Structure 1
Amino acid sequence: MNIENYIESQYRELIASGQVNPEFADLYATIEHQKLREILTGLHHNYVSLFRTMNERLPTNENGAHFWADPSRQLINSIEITIGLYNSLKNTKYAFEIDDYYFNLIKKCRDFLSSSGGSLLPANMLKIDLYYTMPIFKSASTISVNNTTNGFTFSLKLIGGGSYANVYKYKDTFYNKTFVLKRAKKELSEKEILRFKREFEEMNEFSSPYILEVYCYNEGQNEYVMEYMDFTLDEYISRNNASMYYSQRKSIGQQILKAFEYIHSKGRLHRDISPKNILLKQYDDVMVVKIADFGLVKIPDSSLTTVNTEFKGYFNDPSLILDGFDTYNALHETYALTRIMYYVLTGKTNTGNISNSKLQGFVQKGLNPDKSKRFQNVNEVVQEFRNL
């Protein structure tokens, strides 16, 4: 879909129906796209006007009440445009969020509104709160931050995402630093939200220079702020593989292993080890490694670790496909770490035809199909890695 053309088509539909009204334009001044800004302003006006009319019939008793045909059709049209825009602009730079109260209200109205003959308002429906000074819509590419006594709004830039969340970066002008925001997607189930929040809680409890630092969790938006890193491991090696010294590779590998020594000392298993979840920050005098993405972390006796957790990633032990991801243990973690160490030292993922005998022995032990012959814990990986 051509996003610009889609926004234009929705804008023209509102213009044709005379529904673009500038009354609430000041609430949407931060929306950069002019016509999207006018659309959201017009939709806000429509909702306030139509729900004000609906309030004349509210609250309802146990029998409900009749809502007139014309405003029913107008409200259906506004809801269709809103939901269409919301879904079509997801994961684009024009993505926006809908206030939770209005989002639930819109979904409720969609269930009972009728395009002909008027609509039956549900029984025991309360009067609707009308937003005169608060926006119904908010750009997904902004974050509001309260620093000391002042509030600031910063533009977000989408830098990544997955099935659970989108990841943005922004420049905080108060601290003059770049931060990262990880925001859960709206459609997550309650259990998925709990897993997302648990990821923050786990990272927040860690205290290690090799674990990505997180700062605060926003319950209302289900999002949290964390430190900004310069590269993922795969980005850094892809860009610098030909020029990296062996000593640099060993330093990166040793930091990764220190991180996992610490993680395992806390009784945790990461379970999603990959070059995308290992981050690097370049300082003037040193390259620092930090581990991120603890969404699949395994905690003893946790009800959020299930049989149906998806096996994913080239670096994971393929035996998990048959054994089930719920069987994941330290031997699977040392398997993945062996692959990561090989990747760090060589820039390669294919472990065939290794000419260095010490490295070949290290890889064969770490990836041995017989789990009893593998590295039994991270400490064993560390000892063998030092000898390479």
Structure 2
Amino acid sequence: MKTMERERVERFERTFHERDIDSTYLELYRREQVLPRAFAYIHAGLDVEFKHMNYKARGGSSGHFNADNSRNLLDLIDLLAEARTMLNKAGHSLTMAPDYQRVIENAPAWLVDSGGSPIPEGFTPVEVESYAPVFSLGDQAVPVSDSRMVKLTSIGEGAFALVHRFTDPNYGMTLARKKLKPGADDREKERFRREFELMKELQFPYVLEVYNFKESDWSYTMEHCDTSLEDYVAKRNNQPGFGPTTRKRIALQFLYGLNFIHSKGHFHRDLSTRNVLLRTFGGSAVLVKLSDFGLAKLKGSEFTMTETELKGTKIDPALGSFKDFAAVHDIFAAGFVLLYIFTGRKNIGRNDATPIEQIIHKCIDSQPDRRYQSVMELIADVEALDTTVIGEAPA
């Protein structure tokens, strides 16, 4: 059943059906399910006015923006404001390219609808983007099982997806939702679905749990975590109460999760301090959750996108191709995650004086055959660390 807000959005879109719109701009937004013609029309109109504004700002006619152009731009800004208001009420958030947003927010202060407008001194030319969308939609709300809408709060954004959190009113639980960005092609959709299916398979305490997949909007719900490993350590590094014992416990949870993934025949291929999440329970109690399996290689799968080869967060210099990825390459990245857990640093020193530095140097050795060959070998050495001398060089 359509809500009144969604019907208003559809009526607004219909007002653009008879308008002449450049086909180039229509193509940019053809994958948008909401307001594709409106976005194409407004984008095309803004580009015309911004190009003219850039010309005038360079000194033509003393920086005077013509009257017709001023009125056109004001009309476009009004249309955009109307669209934003309706979208917000329908549960969507409108985002735009930063340079477009800068001008649209500031221009009404100096634009006038008669006699032309004096362009402010020191005006920075607009970076006109005619070959990629400048408008995109996020969600502010999501329907739950009883058709109620619940508020979404943005908590992250990657190259292909947006992540929001929300509270399920039926259970009072905070959940997260990951949604593929608009315009994704079939290959990206397939990878998104495979990520969900892999995580659904990997039921383990130290792997992020996922729940339901919705093909209608290419999203899935998952366990909500309070922070990333990077932020958690950054806030506590060198603070009382965040000592070797706590760090070792976090490190082992991370390694147990990675070992489980490998035991199932999969490789993560994108390990980083931001892809390791934590649930916190007060004090020093935490639960590590490995996440972001978008680049993971599944057992027996040849699904490797040429465009994404060697684009993991910490790339092993010894790796020639993602197709050749093996356990030692995940262990290379894991060494830097361990370095951050135990020291708060992201760059390794040249010596290997302390026990933990010796472990890390073995993880990232330039010769893969000299590294740990399995995560279990690495776990054994981390478990054996004496937390009373973990950061001290041998006497």
Same fold flag (TM > 0.5)? yes
Find out whether 1:358 has 2:355 as its counterpart. Answer: yes
Give the CA deviation at 1:25. 8.6
Change (3 A) 1:186 1:179: same
Find out whether 1:276 has 2:274 as its counterpart. Answer: yes
Give the CA deviation at 1:294. 0.7
Give 1:239's aligned residue.
235
Give the CA deviation at 1:83. 3.4
Match of 1:159 among 144, 155, 160: 155
Give 2:258's aligned residue.
260
d(CA) in 1 for partners of 2:271 and 2:236? 21
SS of structure 2 residue aligned to 1:275: coil
Letter in 1 for 2:361: Q
Find out whether 1:83 has 2:40 as its counterpart. Answer: yes
SS of structure 2 residue aligned to 1:45: helix
Match of 2:331 among 331, 334, 337: 334
d(CA) in 1 for partners of 2:16 and 2:42? 20
SS of structure 2 residue aligned to 1:225: strand
Give the CA deviation at 1:185. 1.1
Is contact 1:307–1:326 with CA below 8 Å preserved after alignment? Answer: no
Letter in 1 for 2:5: L
d(CA) in 2 for partners of 1:86 and 1:164? 22
Aligned length: 288
d(CA) in 2 for partners of 1:260 and 1:86? 46
Quick one: percent identity of the two aligned structures? 29
Letter in 1 for 2:337: I
Correspondences of 1:171-182 after superposition (within 5 Å): 171-182=167-178
Change (3 A) 1:235 1:373: same
Give the CA deviation at 1:300. 2.9
d(CA) in 1 for partners of 2:192 and 2:22? 34
Change (3 A) 1:84 1:174: farther
Find out whether 1:184 has 2:183 as its counterpart. Answer: no
Match of 1:325 among 306, 322, 325: 322
d(CA) in 2 for partners of 1:335 and 1:139? 36
SS of structure 1 residue aligned to 2:382: helix
SS of structure 2 residue aligned to 1:95: strand
Is contact 1:315–1:340 with CA below 8 Å preserved after alignment? Answer: no
SS of structure 2 residue aligned to 1:276: coil
Change (3 A) 1:83 1:255: same
Letter in 1 for 2:39: T
Change (3 A) 1:86 1:351: same
Give the CA deviation at 1:49. 7.2
d(CA) in 2 for partners of 1:208 and 1:231? 19
Give the CA deviation at 1:218. 0.5
Is contact 1:95–1:141 with CA below 8 Å preserved after alignment? Answer: no
SS of structure 2 residue aligned to 1:94: strand
Question: What TM-score, normalized by structure 1, do the two folds share?
Answer: 0.67
Find out whether 1:26 has 2:22 as its counterpart. Answer: no
Is contact 1:306–1:326 with CA below 8 Å preserved after alignment? Answer: no
Give 1:45's aligned residue.
11
Give 2:66's aligned residue.
none
Q: Which runs of 5+ in 2 are unaligned?
A: 27-34, 45-79, 96-135, 386-395
Give 2:63's aligned residue.
none
Give the CA deviation at 1:138. 8.7
Q: Deviations over 1:200-252 (max 9, x none)?
A: 11111111111111110001000000011011000101111122111110000
SS of structure 1 residue aligned to 2:148: strand
Question: What TM-score, normalized by structure 2, do the two folds share?
Answer: 0.66
Q: Deviations over 1:142-194 (max 9, x none)?
A: 11110xxx222111111111121111111222211211010001211101101
Give 1:67's aligned residue.
none
Give 1:6's aligned residue.
none
d(CA) in 2 for partners of 1:46 and 1:271? 45
